[in-house]
Amino acid sequence: MIALVTGGAHGIGAALVRRLVGRGDDVVVADIDPDGEGGSLFVRTDVRSYEDNERLVAAAVERFGHLDVAVFNAGAAGPRSFSVSGYRDAMRVNLDAVVYGLAACSGVLSGSALVMASIAGLTGSPDVYYGTAKHAQIGLVRSISQTAPGYRINALCPGLVDTRALAAYRSELVAAGLALASPDEVAAAAETVLGDRRTGQVWSVQAGRPVELVPRI
C-alpha cells in the first residue's frame, strides 16, 4: 500500500511510519523538520500551508500514482495563550492542516484516512484552543464521512503519549501518577483503525488497541 503520514519525523508519526514500513507499505513522510527519515519519500512540508499540501500530494502521485492511506498526524499543543494569535496558531496547525491535506488528497486517496485527534477533543483542555481544534477535527471527520468522499475516515483520540510534545511536563505527569502511552502503542492502534471497514468513527487507545469511543448516532 501507499501511505502518507504527516508529522512523520518524530513521536507518534515516526512510530507509525516504522510500523507501516515494517508491513511493506511505501510511506511518504511529510514534516516541517527535515529530519524525517524512514519512509520511501520525504517531502518537507509545512502542513499549515495549502500550497505545501498540494506539493506534497503531487510529489506522492508523481512517485506512486495514488494513495491508499493518509494519516493527518502533525499537530501541536500550546502556547497556552488565551489570545487571538494563540487561537490562530492552534487552528492553523491542528485544523487548517487537516482541511488542506484532505482537499489536496481529493481524488487521489481511495482507501482510509485517519486524523490524529486527542482525548482533548472530547474532554476539552486548559490549553483552550488546542482542545477547541481537536473537537473541530472530530467534527470534520464525522461530517466528511457523511459525504461519500471515496475513502473511509476516522479519528483516533490518544490520551497522554510519551513524546517530546509532553517533555516539559513529563516529570510532573509521572509524579501525579498519570500513565503515558508509548508512541508505538498509538501507532499499533492507528494501524488497526486504518484497516477497519467503518467510517466516521471516533476511537480511543487502550493498551495498543483502538476502542470505539463514541458510537455513531
For ligand NAD, give the closer residue by CB, 93 or 109. Answer: 93
Residue 125 · residue 90 · CB < 8 Å: no
Q: How many residues bind ligand NAD (CB under 6 A)?
A: 27
Considering beta carbons, is residue 99 or 165 the nearer one to ligand NAD?
Answer: 165
Contact between 17 and 38 (Cβ < 8 Å): yes
CB of 162 to ligand NAD, least distance (A): 7
Phi, psi of 161 (to 5 degrees): -125, 140
Among 1, 18, 21, 32, binds ligand NAD (CB under 6 A): 32
Only segment of 26-34, 53-61, 83-91, 191-199 that touches ligand NAD (CB under 6 A) = 26-34
Q: What's the longest Cα–Cα distance across the chain? A: 49
Residue 188 binding ligand NAD, by CB under 6 A: no
Contact by Cβ (8 Å): 191, 183: no
Binding mask 40-79 for ligand NAD (x = CB under 6 A): -----xxxx------------------------xxxx---
Instruction: List residues bridging with 112 in a β-sheet.
Output: 69, 152
Enumerate binding residues for ligand NAD (CB under 6 A). 7, 9-13, 31-33, 45-48, 73-76, 93, 116, 118, 158, 160-161, 163-166
